[in-house]
């Protein structure tokens, strides 16, 4: 039987890189950092030093490239999953709405 990860439509690339987030909540925008764990053609996941983030929250993600041959990544995303790791952090899954 295929596991959940085997049913994905896109390959996930492990990243483990610091990313800058602009989180839009109730018409206000705040900035923070997180660690991007993986990315695919349709989404990404990151660990955030917060207790939780609501599903549907819009997040702009920026990952600076350390390689001159690979451009930095900027994407508008929407939170589709939030799993609490402990009282001070959570694992967030986002769907990519638009790459910039």
Whether 90 contacts 53, CB under 8 Å: yes
Whether 98 contacts 77, CB under 8 Å: no
pLDDT single digits (tens) 38-76: 999 899 999 999 989 999 999 999 999 888 888 999 999
Q: What is the domain count for the chain?
A: 1
Measured CA to CA, the distance from residue 15 to residue 51 in angstroms comes to 23
Q: What's residue 9's pLDDT?
A: 58
Q: Compare 97 and 51 and report the one with higher pLDDT.
A: 97
Measured CA to CA, the distance from residue 9 to residue 96 in angstroms comes to 14
* Structure confidence at residue 4 as a pLDDT band (50, 70, 90): very low
Q: Where are the alpha helices (DSSP H) in 5-78?
A: none
CATH number of residue 29's parent domain: 2.40.10.220
Measured CA to CA, the distance from residue 37 to residue 65 in angstroms comes to 15
Residue 10, domain extent: 4-99
């Amino acid at each position: 039987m295929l596991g959940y990860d085997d049913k994905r439509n896109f390959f996930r690339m492990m990243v483990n890189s610091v990313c800058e987030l602009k989180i839009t909540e109730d018409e206000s925008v705040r900035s923070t950092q997180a660690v991007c764990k993986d990315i695919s053609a349709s989404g990404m996941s990151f660990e955030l030093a917060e207790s939780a983030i609501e599903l549907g929250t819009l997040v702009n993600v920026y990952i600076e490239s350390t390689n001159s041959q690979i451009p930095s990544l900027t994407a508008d995303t929407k939170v589709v999953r939030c799993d609490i790791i402990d009282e001070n952090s959570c694992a967030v899954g986002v769907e990519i709405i638009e790459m910039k």
